Copies of this chain bind each other. A is one copy, B any other.
């Protein structure tokens, strides 16, 4: 099997050998990804010239209906996607659901949101400023669709969610998309787009996909296009620094992995509900999707007197988890995406070991269920403990992209906030505390360094959505090392694809513009 690309309104096959994608449980090749000869400039031009006007002609509500139709196609084919996710991503049933249903849910959320904007094609912000004394000259701010295409380069760990969360906001805004999935797991993205294209639910040119490394995918971007990237900080910097990107200056949004933290409040002593809730969350961090989430907990900041008890509680659970073939129902932890990622993770653990002790795991598991421990990309759930986090460096800077986290003791809440900030900017942080003053101080303290903060207290209990889970109503992104980007967040996600313009004129003109627009702040 060789994955094709859908560009210029037709499926094309690369002319090269391409890159293999594998079943990480066995190491066996499943197929090849190749976009040799696929012309990125032509793909972008077709999106801009054919997809753009078609989407621009639709109202927000009509674009919402498109997303609903896409979601319906995906729901109808859902079983096949679970199979692909198991085979190509090593996902358990639960892992696959996060990616697949997360994508479908995000599409449905934006479908409803767009439909709530009604018949409009523009957005006007609330409020009008009078600019002249007589009151006959005033200003409002409106948002209109940017006349370009959205190039969307996704990460391997979310071939469904990553694809659709980016497509959703662009389509609502009226901007056509050219998606480029990561080669290692492009199969699922490919199959989903193939089903959507076959169902003919989108206008021609609204959605293209390049499976593999095409030509001029970023080289042909213009100032009115956008480039969204999710992946490593290093690749993000490379894209930002691409001479073509610098010369054209498209809007660029980068979501990079980050060294996210969770903080147990001083009140989160063993025996309290928040202690147990924190244990449960860190256990999830060391098992769900084999730890391969950009938002995952990597650093666990625990009051010094409870650090040992916390590490023991987590270790007791994850040590008993079966690692192995995700097709086996007893398996809690599947393989990493491929052997290269496993080897990078192993190297990362070695680096962390210079500053931290292994509590459990620490390498390839001794035995795995239904597979060969070394032929597959397996990594044991790994908990480390770093006694001197203030003096350490690697634990704040190296992300082991697998089921791996490090426990760190702290002395005061200020101390914990300062340690969290050592990540240099992260996507998500969680706080487990029922002390309102602590929760508030920690939240405000870490907020400048984070795109999202989740606070779990007794009132929330188990009813939270999870530290790593990106909810479409909340912004996703983070400052500094996390890339400085911002996606989703209900209508906030439309900013990337629209232009804000101050309109100055008579109250009559401003009313006429507002009559045609949906009123909202982005």
Contacts and interface: CB of A to CB of B under 8 A. Distances in A.
Contacts of A126: 521
A503 B455 CA distance: 8
Interface in A500-516: 500-509, 512-513, 516
Q: Which of A125, A247, A425, A504 has the most CB of B within 10 A?
A: A504
Contact of A146 (B444, B448, B455): B448
Interface size class of A (residues with CB under 8 A): 35 or more
A165 interface: no
Contact of A521 (B144, B456, B479, B521): B521
A460 B132 CA distance: 9
A15 B200 CA distance: 70
Contact of A459 (B471, B504, B508, B513): B508
A305 interface: no
A479 B224 contact: yes
Interface in A464-508: 464-465, 471, 473-476, 479-481, 484, 486, 489-490, 492, 499-508
B499 A447 contact: yes
Contacts of A203: none
Nearest to A129: B473
Contacts of A440: 509, 512-513, 516
A136 interface: yes
B521 A489 contact: no
Contacts of A500: 451, 475, 486, 492
A316 interface: no
A351 interface: no
B474 A499 contact: no
A131 B461 contact: no
B237 A247 contact: yes
Interface string A225-236: 000000000000
A474 B129 contact: yes
B439 A137 contact: no
- Copy total for this chain: 2
A58 interface: no
Nearest to A502: B474
A116 interface: no
Contacts of A448: 144-147, 224, 499, 501
Interface of A: 122, 125-126, 129, 131-134, 136-137, 139, 141-142, 144-147, 223-224, 237, 240-241, 246-247, 249, 251, 424-425, 436, 439-440, 443-444, 447-457, 459-461, 463-465, 471, 473-476, 479-481, 484, 486, 489-490, 492, 499-509, 512-513, 516, 521
Top-4 shortest CB links A-B: A474-B502, A455-B505, A521-B521, A459-B506
Given A146-B448, A457-B506, 19 more contacts: A122-B444, A131-B464, A131-B465, A131-B471, A136-B460, A137-B463, A139-B474, A223-B479, A224-B448, A237-B247, A240-B249, A440-B512, A440-B516, A444-B513, A447-B503, A451-B499, A452-B504, A455-B509, A521-B521
